Structures are given as structure tokens and as C-alpha cells.
Structure 1
């Protein structure tokens, strides 16, 4: 399935997304877990490049990368900026044939991307990046493969989400004991006639 870019994102939503993505990028303790997700994706889909990206305001950052370096990329050159516009998997069977990408320097030059598939990563319900697979040959992705890629992105999102202090709900502002006391007080008040 090929998903068209949505114009539904407002400037505010874009600002929130890029802020969260950049905050997550600055945290350095995901290491092995996210690298394993990228490595499994590269092996599963037999592609030379697999990435976990975070799309910031001006750059795309890599939390895990197989087959390419970890240097940030200008966001206007990225495929993943299109992926974060929808909850669906974005599939580009042949980037040279797609008007959005055929003039992209990553298509016309090194690494000569022809195929892209990306599933959005979410933190706090906000699309912040993608788990994507890239190939130097055009190809397709079956519905089952797209579903598996989305599930792998969900797994990576869970890792990111778990390690985000801001995503821990009431624990963000209160320690556990304060939170538990407040919940008990609230439950008692609700039980009173």
C-alpha cells in the first residue's frame, strides 16, 4: 500500500512532533534494544539499510542504523518526513519513478535508494520518526510484510515509550507514593455517600 502525504498536520502538531523527536534523540541509553530491531529488520527483509529515525525540525536523526552512518540528515531530503504524516506504512516501490523522490540526492547519488518502506514510531501518541527499510533495487512489499514492519515499529516505539519520563503518566509529576495516596483518597471520596 502506498500512502499519500496528508496535509492534516498543523504547524503546532509539527512543532510538537519535532520537539519530542529531538528530546528522544538526545537520550543515549537505548543502544542494544533499538539496534537489534534495526538489525532484525535488515535481515528479515534482506535489505542493505534499516533505520530507526527521529524526524526533528531541521534534521532526521538515527537512533539505530544498519548499512549507513549515524550522521543526521537534513529533514527536507528524507523519506521519513513523509512517513510521519500518517499512521500507515509508507511504501515507495521505486523512488526513481516517484515524483516526490526521483530528484532526491539519496536516489540520484549515494546510496542510490530505489525502494523505501517505513512505519511510524510513536512516543506519547505522537509520530516522531520511523522504522524503515531501504534497498538499492526496486521491489514491492506484501501486505503481510507491511503488517510485520508496522508491528516491529510498534515494538521499537514501546522501547522508546518505556524509557521516556514524559510518557509515564502520573509518574512524571509525582513519585509513586504520592500518586498512590492521591488515588486512594480519590477512591475513598468516590465511595462516600
Structure 2
């Protein structure tokens, strides 16, 4: 899934509601594809981190997001891992003569800008105004997370999980008629 923001999209690369679970980042190829799809959300010149580093951050981000959805305190190790990734590449706010602003990422002296961008996305989501809109898909066989900009949204994707739920409801009604 692409479009829920870097943190949610990374968390959703591990499908937990299927058996066995599916890891879309199990290979370097899957890792490269994830970062390719999200290149427009990353600082210019960012390269894909190693799959192992991506999976480690994904575990921390997923733990953090799951805790937020459940309304619980996150695991301290997850908070530390996300904070460490975010701090590894400092940023600064810059202004030009047209009074426009940009954030400049300073990754030329170390750190991983891609992982820092995901960590920053996670921090902004769980501490920001959209935190209460973070949801888990209502489908029993789905573990995807999403940000519900519409309060009635229940499924990660209306055309997949939402459609399956509607078909199941229709079949159940037809069975009782």
C-alpha cells in the first residue's frame, strides 16, 4: 500500500493477519521496491537503506503505531529506536527571498535519511493532530493500518477489504432470506 504516509506504509509491509505472515521486505528486491515507490517523500539524493535496517525500524514503528491504535503506552525500546533513527539525520528549516520555506536534511555527514524520514513520519503521526485517526482495518483477515480522514472509514481499502465485507454481509442476508 502506498499513500498512508511513510510510517504507515512501512508498517504495512508485513502482513500479519495471514498464516504464515508475509514480509514484503524479506528480500533486498522488496526493500528496493518499497523505497522506489516512496522516493517522492524522501529527501533528494536518498538511497535505499539495507533491508535489515529497514525491517528493524519497521518493527519499532509498527509497535509504536499499534500502541497508539490500542490507546496504550508504547514499548520504551520502540520509542528509543524511532527517536534514534529520527535524530541520526538532523534537519533545519530554511527560508528563501520569496518567503517560502523548506526543510533541509543534513545527511552528508552520516545517518540514513530514508530511515530518518520514516521515523519523523511516525513521530509526527502519533503525536500530531491525526493521531486519533490512525486505525487498523476492520476486516478480520487484514492487519493493515491507515489514517481515517473520513470518520466512517473502516477498511484499509474499500475495493478490497471493504468489498469483501459488503459481499459477506450480502451473502449472510441472502442466507437468512
Normalized against structure 1, the TM-score is what? Answer: 0.35
Normalized per residue, the structure richer in helix is 2
Normalized per residue, the structure richer in strand is 1
Normalized against structure 2, the TM-score is what? Answer: 0.38
